[in-house]
Structure 1
Amino acid sequence: MTDRIAGRTALVTGAGNGLGRAVALLLAARGARVILSGRDRAKLDAVAASLPAPSVVAPVDTSSPSSVDALASRLADEDVSILVNNAGIAGPVASLWEVEPGDWDEVFAVNVRGVYLMCRAFLPRMIAAGRGDIVNVASVSGKRPLARRTPYTASKMAVIGLTTTLAHEVGPLGVAVNTLSPGPVEGPRMTRNFALEAQRTGTTPAEAEAAFVSRAALQRMVTEEEVALATAAILNMPGLSGADIDLSAGMIGR
């Protein structure tokens, strides 16, 4: 099957670290011209320096309409046919009645409004060209209980709903829209979580991790590289649209 990534321009949000960085590196390795977006210019520059081909560094606050509009204007001459909406925040860890309205609004501003604003800004060009692919990064946490994380889980389920409806709106116009829902990803964030859980339960971080991954079919977490590979796989499935792909090592099953 012909690779559907090489030679195209891909815009990745939240590209300064973590999943966004991994996705950007893989798409560049597959021959895409990558536009790196995020809030931290220094981090984006560091990623750009490690890419195998020239890229574009374009800082943006995806929760801000004016910032997204400025980004779209700056990239007016770029043929962006791949958009990966990865930018997101974890939000507060608290019971719902302890969550402040401002914290709730911030999570939805970044995790949901950011996806809406980026799609709104770049879809018209894809529609005019009659082709395009959008991958919105959600989470399996939007589909299973995650205690004391209501803003985050609700926002990720909202992204899935946005994606499903948008896919039907723009599919007839040549644009495919899909969701990728990763499970817990190996890295510093989960290491911190296991340390906190160990303190709470009087166990060791290793024991806390073992108890956590025992719920997964593969008895482990996924990696940033696996999330990047899944993104590339979605882009290489021309018949896929309106789908929500779980990548959780079997943490969630339906």
Structure 2
Amino acid sequence: VAHEGSAVHALAAGLADEDVSLLVNNAGVAGPVRPLVDIEPDEWDDVFAANVRGVYLMCRAFLPPMLAAGRGDIVNVASVSGKRPLLNRTPYTASKMAVIGLTRTLAGEAGPHGVAVNSLSPGPVRGPRMDRNFRLTAELTGCTVEEAERDFASRAALGRLVEEDEVARALVAMLAMPGLCGADIDLSAGMIAPA
């Protein structure tokens, strides 16, 4: 088994001669969809390895040159699921809450040195994963895929899902706000937790 941080170390070494002033940590795994008591420790660890440890390793590798330069931006992509209940998704929600906590703490450490650290928390984003969820809901309930999507989207104040390009535009907008540090931006179309 390769050293856990070897891929990150190789990436950092490959960019050692570059002026890296922006780091966006946008990786994650959904993990199991079951009650906590039915989730195996290895499954829990796999989710935290990707969603939290990966962010930690990337920040650890790329933050020092930013601190030395006295400038930089780190944006960690979390999730609104880290701020509200999502039943049967405990590893995912706990890991995304950890990313928000990591972000806020690291902002306090790095901010005084000119490095802004923030997180962006999208809600459900239209794409293949949500399409699969709507198909599964339709199969389980007997409704159409369109009805499953409409019912789900009705939980959002705007009555819709977030689009992929909105996530990218929100990230760019965050970078255009030089005073933003230690913030977590909710991009969920006003999604609320189901009753």
- Scaled by the length of structure 1, the TM-score of the pair is 0.73
Which residue matches 1:179? 119
**Residues 126-145 of structure 1: CA distance to partner in whole angstroms, max 9, x if unpaired?**
00000000000000011111
SS in 2 for 1:88: coil
1:106 to 40, 43, 46: 46
Which residue matches 1:133? 73
Separation of aligned partners in 2, 1:232 and 1:204 = 36
Cα RMSD of the aligned pairs, angstroms, is: 1.5
Q: After superposition, where does 1:134-213 map in structure 2 within 5 Å?
A: 134-213=74-153
Q: After superposition, where does 1:1-16 map in structure 2 within 5 Å?
A: none
SS in 1 for 2:21: strand
Identity %: 73
Separation of aligned partners in 2, 1:225 and 1:169 = 31
Q: Is the 8 A contact 1:92 1:149 kept in 2?
A: yes
**Residues 128-178 of structure 1: CA distance to partner in whole angstroms, max 9, x if unpaired?**
000000000000011111111111010000000000000000100000000
1:229 to 158, 169, 184: 169
Are positions 1:88 and 2:38 aligned together? no
Structure 1 stretches (4+) deviating beyond 6 angstroms?
none
The one of the two structures with greater contact order (alpha-carbon pairs below 8 A, sep at least 6) is 2
Which residue matches 1:78? 18
**Residues 97-146 of structure 1: CA distance to partner in whole angstroms, max 9, x if unpaired?**
11111111010000000000000000000000000000000000111111
Which ranges in structure 2 are unaligned for 5 or more consecutive residues? none
Which ranges in structure 1 are unaligned for 5 or more consecutive residues? 1-60
The count of corresponding residues between Structure 1 and Structure 2 is: 192
Q: CA deviation at 1:190?
A: 0.4
